[in-house]
Structure 1
Amino acid sequence: MRVLGIVCGPHRMGNTALLVRRVLEGAEERGYETELICLSDLQINPLSEGPEDPYGVSFPKDGMEKVYRALERMDVLVFGTPIYYDHVSSRAKLFIDRLYYYNQPTVRERFPRGARAVLIITYEWDNPEAYEEVLEWLKRTLEHYWKMKVVATLKAEGTRKRPVAGREDLLKKAKEIGLNL
């Protein structure tokens, strides 16, 4: 089984990245093949106007090509994003927008429908009940458009005052998610 981790935060070793990495560690202990992509390492552009395309958009040739190849080989997606201004990061939204690529009839079947997903969000607000609506939005989006099955979610609140690196409870939960994939 192939497990793909996507980090939508700006830091390769930040709060979001640490939790995604820990899920992948658990998956590796189960013998699964893993891959980590930090979107901040790639140049990914937004969709642009493409009048020759039946959908009216153009898909830039950029760092998303690497992501498409990885997505097409995955069985599980571990998707991590920080929350900025009450929603997913701009990198996370750009990633989701660029999945529009799979609406094209010529490539639609490349996306592994039925793949499982793990959703991770991190945020500074010290409210463990916050941002359920963001997780629900992500879940609906992945399940509706790409027929994925969200099997686990993880929230890390108060990450400015209490960074993930020092929170064994969260790191343990993340690893358990990976072990249980």
Structure 2
Amino acid sequence: MKFVEPIRELQKISSMKKILLAQRERDYLLFVIGINSAYRISDLIRVQFHHVMDEKLKVRNHLILIEQKTKKENKVALSKGVKKAIEIYVQNHYQGNPNEFLFKSRKGTNQPIGRVQAWQIISDAAEELGLENIGTHSLRKTFGYHQIKRGTNITLLMKMFNHSSESVTLRYIGITQDDMDAAVQALDL
């Protein structure tokens, strides 16, 4: 079984955004929300317009979903960049039905894209960049990896991911021995 990795380089994230935006705004928004939250792809693809905007078409401050895997409510703040991407998407794609899926399938019915289609979208863009071992789970891992790199407390991240221990979270997001060595060497008191 092949394990997917986070996207560690910010430049690669920026390039992924450009590729996905050129393909379809839907694919870009899926990526942007995915790398800025701890949601699993099975939860992301089920997001509907009413989850991200109020009755006045104003983008909400939080995305609140009941996770399929845990059956728990998960409330995630939306950053300025994510809110802006949602705002543009709503302006260009909202057709008056708040129950319509954000990541709608092109099959003509109000159905979301499937997990396999989401995987294809992400992995094709990654392949175009020469990135290996990237899939839909990479979105969540990328979020965690960059949270840790920016100093987020591991216990807080562990809670966001609903993991049982810090070591599980570190292994999950791909923190390597090289990362730990670099952190120690950078301190050099």
Give the alignment's TM-score, normalised by structure 2: 0.26
Structure having the larger proportion of residues in helix: 2
Structure whose alpha-carbon radius of gyration is higher: 2
TM-score with structure 1 length normalisation?
0.26
